[in-house]
Amino acid sequence: MPNAEQNSGTDQPCEIAVFVSGGGSNLQSIIDHVQQGHIHANIACVISNNPDAYGLIRAQQASIPTHIIEHKHYETREAFDRELLKTLAVYNIKLIVLAGFMRVLSPTLINEYQECILNIHPSLLPKYTGLHTHARALEANDTQHGCSVHFVTAELDEGPLVIQAAVGVKETDTVDTLAARVLKKEHIIYPLAVKWFCEKRLQIKGNKIYFDNSSLNQAIQLSPEHEAQLK
């Protein structure tokens, strides 16, 4: 079973699998930062449950192996996840990155890659787990909204938080305009979290998250200093 301690440090790149279901803009952001040398990683494969996902084209354009595993062909979530595990076994994966993967993973997969799965969610967790987060933030008249990167556990959108970025909500905002501003922040904080994991700056020890060897009791809030690490 992989864990953060098994990352290959500064010598060998961290082997990553990215799961996508749609456009894959977060995948593209990570591809770009890997290619630019900001993230010491190799995207070993991209897996999708949707054969029409544009994220697959993004991967192919970057010469990354792709795999299509359609969940509708499997009777149970566990059977689908077992097929995912078979594909992952081909690669020496140290980190799974969920980039708009519209399937809830079962313990069958989570237990095999415990503490090595990251997800990004379009809200300031713990607010608004699940779907339609932007509409819910507008309906609640929130003044701030944003996005969060967290480790994946069996509880939906409730794994330990890593980093968050906030945006102000404008009176004129629609779901689309708010979503667009949040997405720009996603394209920053997700590569950062992946970078930190691959550098072993971000680790889990004894069910606690550590960042730069200090216990992380709450999510890191995005700052200009963090953004500079991707430039």
Number of domains into which the chain is organized: 1
For position 2, what pLDDT does the model report?
A: 59
* DSSP result, 149-198: EEE--SSTT-SPEEEEEEEEPPTT--HHHHHHHHHHHHHHHHHHHHHHHH
**Residues in Cβ contact with 141 at an 8 Å cutoff, skipping those fewer than 6 apart:** none
- Active-site hit among 33, 67, 121, 145: 121
What is the CATH classification number for the domain harbouring 80?
3.40.50.170
Specify whether 121 is catalytic.
yes
Segments of the chain with pLDDT less than 70: 1-10
Model pTM greater than 0.85? yes
Residue entry with tokens 């059977």: 79
148-196: pLDDT as tens digits: 999 998 888 889 999 999 999 999 999 999 999 999 999 999 999 999 9
Q: 80: domain range?
A: 4-228
**Short-list 37, 31, 102, CA closest to 66:** 31
Q: How far apart are the first and last CA of the chain?
A: 33
DSSP secondary structure letter of residue 6: G
For position 1, what pLDDT does the model report?
A: 52
